[in-house]
Amino acid sequence: MRLSTKARYGTRAILDLAMHYGEGPILIRDIAQRQGISKKYLEQIIAALKGAGLVKSFRGAHGGYALARDPASIKMSEVVQALEGPLTLVECLEDPSICSRAPYCVAMEVWARVNRAMLDALDSLTLQDLVDRQIRKGLGYGI
């Protein structure tokens, strides 16, 4: 159960945007370079963040990307869900009718519990928290 590169890269990319919040449009090319990610791949990843309304874009010359909202108002659960899709370990939690065993299934309860734990952990962190940690931890690689 590994996280996809999309979620890992996307998280770093949006943190990069958060670190530059208020500076106007940031070039995808610069994010790609700072984070060591292919620019072309990053385009697709950022598109997912834009689709979720977490990031906004400016087209044309002097365009780029910026956070759509204040970093303190963006929960990490939103970010990860935008990148990985619904954070549900097992489909039957979303729709129990797909499995005839659901009414008696105890395994489901286990997955529900793990799910809630993950969600709680991600709900309790905002992008601003990450920015603060990044500043405390030090800025490597010219972030």
Partner DNA sequence: TTTAAAGTCTACTAAATTAGTAGACTACCA
Partner DNA sequence: TGGTAGTCTACTAATTTAGTAGACTTTAAA
Report how far residue 44's alpha carbon sits from residue 34's, in angstroms, rounded to the nearest whole number.
17
For residue 65, list its beta bridge partners: 26, 57
Nearest to 26 by CA among 37, 17, 18: 17
For residue 75, list its beta bridge partners: 126
Residues in region 47-76 near DNA by CB under 7 A: 47, 50, 57-65
Residues in region 77-96 near its own copies by CB under 8 A: 84-85, 87-91
Residue with structure tokens 């993950």? Answer: 118
Q: Residue 40 binds which entry of its own copies, DNA, none, with Cβ cut-offs from 5 to 8 Å by kind?
A: DNA
Report how far residue 4's alpha carbon sits from residue 63's, in angstroms, rounded to the nearest whole number.
28
Nearest to 130 by CA among 13, 32, 3, 19: 19
Contacts with its own copies, 124-143, as mask; x by CB under 8 A: -x----x--xx--xxxxx-x
Choose the stretch contacting DNA; rule: CB under 7 A; options: 40-48, 87-95, 109-117, 128-136: 40-48
Residues in region 17-56 near its own copies by CB under 8 A: 36
Question: Least Å distance between CB 120 and its own copies?
Answer: 7
Report how far residue 108's alpha carbon sits from residue 12's, in angstroms, rounded to the nearest whole number.
32
Dihedral angle over CA of 133, 141, 38, 59, nearest 10? 70
Which residues of this chain interact with its own copies, rule CB under 8 A? 1-4, 8, 11-12, 15, 36, 76, 84-85, 87-91, 101, 103-107, 109-111, 113-114, 116-118, 120-122, 125, 130, 133-134, 137-141, 143
Q: What are the residues binding DNA (CB under 7 A)?
A: 4-6, 25, 27-29, 38, 40-41, 43-44, 46-47, 50, 57-65
